[in-house]
Amino acid sequence: MTEPKMPLWEVFIRARSGLAHRHVGSVHAADAEMALQAARDTYTRRGEGLSIWVVPSAAITASDPADKDSLFEPTASKPYRHPTFYDIPPEVGHM
């Protein structure tokens, strides 16, 4: 018997107030409400969080690892984007 597939959801948890939600894993559920309940049971059995987001996995658009060089390599040649690129005499103090 082939059953229809349960949709997949990605789970994000905010561990403490002041922190961003962080990806922790995924769950299968029929709808958003059940995905939240499943995420709560699966990923917060020991006080891991204060807030949960669930997002349909299909809604995520990801960059292709094959494009890694063209996307991210150019930043390597731009040291002037970092504070240590600039020479300031020590007498000026912390800046």
What residues contact residue 81 under an 8 Å CB cut-off, 6+ apart? 75
Q: Which is nearer to another protein, 4 or 79 (CB)?
A: 4
Specify the amino acid at residue 49.
G
Binding to another protein (CB under 8 A) within 55-84 occurs at 62, 64-65
Query: Residue 30 or residue 50: which is nearer to another protein going by CB?
Result: 30
For position 88 contacting another protein by CB under 8 A, the verdict is no
Note whether 30 binds another protein by CB under 8 A.
yes
Among 91, 90, 10, 77, CA closest to 43 = 10
Q: According to the binding rule CB under 8 A, does residue 47 interact with another protein?
A: no
- 51, two tokens: 């807030």
Out of 16, 17, 20, 45, point to the residue binding another protein (CB under 8 A).
Answer: 45
CB nearer another protein, residue 19 or residue 88: 19
42 binds another protein (CB under 8 A): yes
**Contact partners, residue 63, CB within 8 Å, separation at least 6:** 71
Query: Residue 29 gets which letter from DSSP?
Result: -
The CA distance from 54 to 21, in Å, is 11
The answer to whether 22 contacts another protein (rule: CB under 8 A) is no
